[in-house]
């Protein structure tokens, strides 16, 4: 979140300076591996479908390890292979590309607290749910 503050040399409000303020997360994050199928369009705009795993999840999205390179803002459809539930999501973070793939942060278009099979409603989340 960016907050705009104005303050001149004499203490009077005159110049606009952006100030960044951290916003709290909407839900707790947990380390949790879930096998999912991700489908969408790769960086080269070709359709792909791949089975991958999550690294970290929360009620509003998660962090995946993908072999295909995707663009920030790209839309994906994830399928939980255990439950066959599908969720549409948006790519919101791209990590460095490594030997095992790229860390990709995704955000659900609508909150889906039960998609990962973790109970986020208790307010307490474990750092080691697997």
Q: What is the CATH number of the domain that holds 75?
A: 2.40.10.220
pLDDT band at 125 (very low <50, low <70, confident <90, very high): very low
125 occurs within a structural domain: no
41 occurs within a structural domain: yes
Over residues 34-90, the pLDDT tens digits come to 999 999 999 888 999 999 999 999 889 999 999 999 999 999 999 999 999 999 999
19 occurs within a structural domain: no
20 occurs within a structural domain: no
58 occurs within a structural domain: yes
48 occurs within a structural domain: yes
Domain extent at residue 89: 30-108
Inter-residue contact 34 to 117 (CB < 8 Å): yes
55 occurs within a structural domain: yes
**Predicted structure pTM score:** 0.71
Q: How far is CA 35 from CA 7, 56, 66, in A?
A: 52, 12, 12
DSSP single-letter state for residue 22: P
56 occurs within a structural domain: yes
Domains held by the chain: number: 1
Write down the residue that tokens 């292979």 correspond to.
81
């Amino acid at each position: 979140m960016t907050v705009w503050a104005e303050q001149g040399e004499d203490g009077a409000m005159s110049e606009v300076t952006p100030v960044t303020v951290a916003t709290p997360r909407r839900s707790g994050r947990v380390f949790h591996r879930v096998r999912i199928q991700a489908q969408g369009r790769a960086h080269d705009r070709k359709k792909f479908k791949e089975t991958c795993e999550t690294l970290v999840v929360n009620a509003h999205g998660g962090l995946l390890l993908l072999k295909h390179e995707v663009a920030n803002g790209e839309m994906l459809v994830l399928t939980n292979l255990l439950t066959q539930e599908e969720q549409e999501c948006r790519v919101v973070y791209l990590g460095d590309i490594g030997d095992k793939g790229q860390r990709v942060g995704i955000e659900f278009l609508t909150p889906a607290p039960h998609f990962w099979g973790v109970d986020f409603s208790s307010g307490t989340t474990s750092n080691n749910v697997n």
